[in-house]
Each structure stands twice: as structure tokens, then as C-alpha cells.
Amino acid sequence: MPPTDNHGSFLNRISIRRNQVVSMDVNHEQELEELELFQKHVSDRFIRLLPPESPPPPTDGEETDTFEPLLSITWFRKLLDVYLCCESEFKAVLIIGREANHFLKPPLDRLLPEHLERTVKALDICNAITHGIELIRHWQRLAQIAVEALEQRPIVEGHVRRAKRALTTLLTSMTTDDKEAQPLNAGKSAERMWSIGRRGGGGAPPMVNQVSHNRRISVSRSLSSSFTKSWSASKQVQAMSTNLMAPRGGDTTGLALPVYLMSSVLVFVMWTLVASVSCHERVGPVQLPRNLAWTQPMILLQDKIGEDWKKKEKKGTACLLAEVQVIEKVAQNLVEFADGFEFPVGVEKADEVAVQVAELSEMCRKLEVGLGPLQLQVRELFHRMVRSRAEVLDVMDVVGKINTHVS
């Protein structure tokens, strides 16, 4: 072959190699941009959950935006929306456009299975949250009995006795372990509604029946202990936090970062639900690195929730749901009124009681309206996690087959 042909072939190979390097650089820059956007979006979403330092004063003729109190039902629904949005973007960053061999390489070969195991524990916690919501429904019904009794006019001793019995039962239930105070049919109600009970051996939801046998075993194993007395949601959160380590070195610019980020978001959301809705559970704070921009709003939220928790622990109760806190406070005041009741009730005292009964009635209305949608959203979260886990497992199955053929 003439020398010029050899020279041309060599130049062609250099050109092809140069194009490959440029393509790799472009892909790497695009990946870095996606990771930065993902972190920014996560940070922005959690910032919107922070309560304003000082709400803007109302202006004449203009409506001001209302911010629901921290840990209210509306706030929790926003929190779950944030998780679902983060989870959708996480899957896009992790899976879309990726070659299967990415998941064979460390540290992903270790981080992804750990993330999936955290998801299994989160399924248990969703079950516990449903259990907690059923208990809160029970409290709402007791409070409503007191409202109906004390709305009667004139207030007589029979009305007061009825209200006191309901409110005393409510306050006692709030300070007793929920596994003992829970109405007997509450667990069965949650089991029937979710279709994830232990009947039929596996107890797995219909969604899980569509995935492989191993996945079904894993999920049903998780759910089998949801209502046992030895099971603890707080211990599940602590187990989820185990080995949750921030990436270092070169891993901070690779796919290890979004896996760590999503695991952190998952643990934080589960911690918040357990601390505030899964009644009578106490769990320590989640350790998040303070040197990352996207962790700052979560740390601020955790600090604010921790402050509320310390106040509640002094009273011996643990449910931080904003509406329940108001019900507890008003219930205590009305029990004091009942203890010192004398007929007839003076005008000033009657007006004071009427204000408190109206406040209790409003909280009952908020629970009546809000608990159903919140429960449905927890159910959506549960099924989303099952689907996402199955999708990641599908990718890992492909990786396993590739690895087998290569071997």
C-alpha cells in the first residue's frame, strides 16, 4: 500500500478518536449539567416548604398568599408532592439514556441495591402512616362527639358529662402507645383499604404481583410485620440512615450523587412522616451534610420540627400534626371547664366555651376534609415506590444478564 495511504489512514484514525473524545466531553458536560439541575430543583422544592420568617402584611383590596402551618395536613400533602417530583426526576437522571454497563461499575453496584433496600423499609413506613391516620380519625370522631354535645343550648350537666367522657378518652389515647390504644377495627380497615394485608400468605399488593418472584418475596417480607407490636417505624428510619454516606472525590460528579441525593430525600420524608403522623413514635434526627446546598432547606425543616417535638415530649404526647395539636390543647381546656362545671353557665363563660368549641369544630372539619386525600396520597407514594423499584430492578436484571454473557 502506498505511503500516502498509510498516512491518510492514520490521520483518519486520529480524526475518529478526536471526535470520540469530543463526544465524551460533551456527554460528560451534559451529565454534569443534569446533576446540577437536579440538585437545584430539589433545593428549590424544599425551600418552598419552609415557613416564611414573617408573612407579608395584607394590603387593601388585594388578597395575600396564605401559607399553611408547618406540619399541617396541607403541608404534608405538599411534602409528598415534592417527593414524587424528585423521584420522577431522579429516574430520568439515573436511567434515561444510560448504558447498562454504567450500573456494573462501583460505587453504583453497591449504592443501588442499598437504595432499593431503603425503599422496602419505606413501604413498611407507609403502612405505619396509614395506621397513624386511622388513629387520628378515631381522635377526630371523639372530638366531634364533644363538639356536638357542647353546641347544645343551654349547656346542661348531661351534655358536659358526654363531652368530658369523649375528650378524656381522646387525651388518654394520645398518651398511650398507639398499638394498644388503636381501635380494634382500625388495623383491619387499613388492611382492607390498602389491600396489602397478610391474608393469602404473601399479603403483597396487586402491583407487586406483576413483578418477579424475588421482588414479591422482598416486598411481602417487608409488609408482614407492619402491625406487630415489636415493629417500630423509628427503627426503620434509623436502619434506612445506616450507610447513608455522601459521595467523595470523583463520585461527586457521577451517578453516585443522584442516588445519594434521592436516598437522603427518601429518608428525610419518611423521618418527617414518622415524627409527625405515625403517632407515639420517637425518632432521632437524620444526619445530613451541611456543606451541600440542596441539604440546607431539609436541615432547616428538621430543626424546626425538632423544636416542636421537644415541646411535645414535655407533655408526654408525640403527634405533631398541626390540627391534632390544636385539638389536644382545646380538649384539655374543655376538660378543665367540665371539671368545674356549674349550672347555669354564666354569659362570659358560655362565650368562652363557644369560642373553643368553634375552634375544635373547625379542626374536626379540617381532619374530615384532609385525612382522606392525605391517605390516598400516601397510597400513591406506596405504589410509586413499588413501580420505581421494579423499574430499577429491570435495569439491574439486564445488567446481570450482560455480566453473565461477558463472563
Mean pLDDT, all residues of the chain: 79
Sign of the dihedral defined by the CA atoms of residues 62, 65, 68, 70, in that order: negative
Residue 321: predicted pLDDT: 94
Q: How far is CA 205 from CA 38, 113, 209, 219, 220, in A?
A: 31, 22, 7, 9, 8
CA dist 164 and 119 (Å) reads 43
| 3-state SS class at 340 | coil
Q: What mean pLDDT do residues 273-284 have?
A: 82
For residue 58, pLDDT over 50 is answered with yes
- Grid coordinates representing 5? 495511504
Radius of gyration of the chain (CA): 27
Burial 234-247 (b: 16+ CB within 10 A, else e): bebbbebbeebebb
Of 3-12, 100-109, 390-399, the least confident = 3-12
DSSP of 143-202? HHHHHHHHTSSS--HHHHHHHHHHHHHHHHHHTS-HHHHS-HHHHHHHHHHHT-SSTTTT
For residue 191, pLDDT over 90 is answered with no
Can you list the alpha helix ranges (DSSP code H) found in 182-255? 184-194, 213-223, 233-241
* Length of the chain as a residue count: 407
| 3-state SS class at 48 | coil
Which of the four pLDDT bands, split at 50, 70 and 90, describes residue 351?
Answer: very high
Q: What mean pLDDT do residues 272-287 have?
A: 83
**Between residues 109 and 249, the one the model is more confident about:** 109
Could you read off the pLDDT of 3-29 as tens digits, one per residue? 444 444 434 443 434 444 344 444 768
DSSP secondary structure code for residue 102 in this structure: G
Residue 136: predicted pLDDT: 96
Could you read off the pLDDT of 304-331 as tens digits, one per residue? 998 888 877 666 566 899 999 999 999 9
Of 24-33, 202-211, 314-323, 337-346, the least confident = 202-211
Residue 6: predicted pLDDT: 47
Residue 143: predicted pLDDT: 98
Inter-residue contact 187 to 180 (CB < 8 Å): no
Q: What mean pLDDT do residues 182-198 have?
A: 38
DSSP secondary structure code for residue 227 in this structure: T
Residue 86: predicted pLDDT: 97
Give percent helix, percent strand, percent coil of the chain, each to the nearest 5. 75, 0, 25
Of 40-49, 115-124, 133-142, 397-406, the least confident = 397-406
CA dist 372 and 388 (Å) reads 24
Residue ranges per structural domain of the chain: 89-406
Which of the four pLDDT bands, split at 50, 70 and 90, describes residue 31?
Answer: confident
* pTM assigned to the model: 0.80
The most confident of 57-61, 179-183, 393-397, by mean pLDDT: 393-397
Close Cβ partners of 251 (under 8 Å, ≥ 6 residues apart): 107, 257
Q: How far is CA 344 from CA 149, 154, 158, 237, in A?
A: 16, 8, 13, 53
For residue 211, pLDDT over 50 is answered with no
Which of the four pLDDT bands, split at 50, 70 and 90, describes residue 66?
Answer: low
Can you list the alpha helix ranges (DSSP code H) found in 48-107? 73-94
For residue 2, pLDDT over 60 is answered with no
Residue 177: predicted pLDDT: 58
Could you read off the pLDDT of 127-181 as tens digits, one per residue? 999 999 999 999 999 999 999 999 998 999 999 999 999 999 999 998 875 444 4
Residue 84: predicted pLDDT: 96
For residue 88, pLDDT over 60 is answered with yes
DSSP secondary structure code for residue 8 in this structure: H
Residue 57: predicted pLDDT: 55
CA dist 385 and 373 (Å) reads 18
CA dist 385 and 240 (Å) reads 15
Of 19-33, 54-68, 113-127, 389-403, the least confident = 54-68
Close Cβ partners of 400 (under 8 Å, ≥ 6 residues apart): none
The most confident of 8-22, 72-86, 391-405, by mean pLDDT: 72-86
Q: What mean pLDDT do residues 266-284 have?
A: 87
- Grid coordinates representing 27? 456527554
Residue 220: predicted pLDDT: 36
**Residue type at 394 in one-letter notation:** D
- Grid coordinates representing 10? 492514520
The reply to whether omega before 57 is within 30° of 0 (cis) is no
Closest of 107, 359, 79 to residue 250, by C-alpha: 107
**Between residues 125 and 55, the one the model is more confident about:** 125
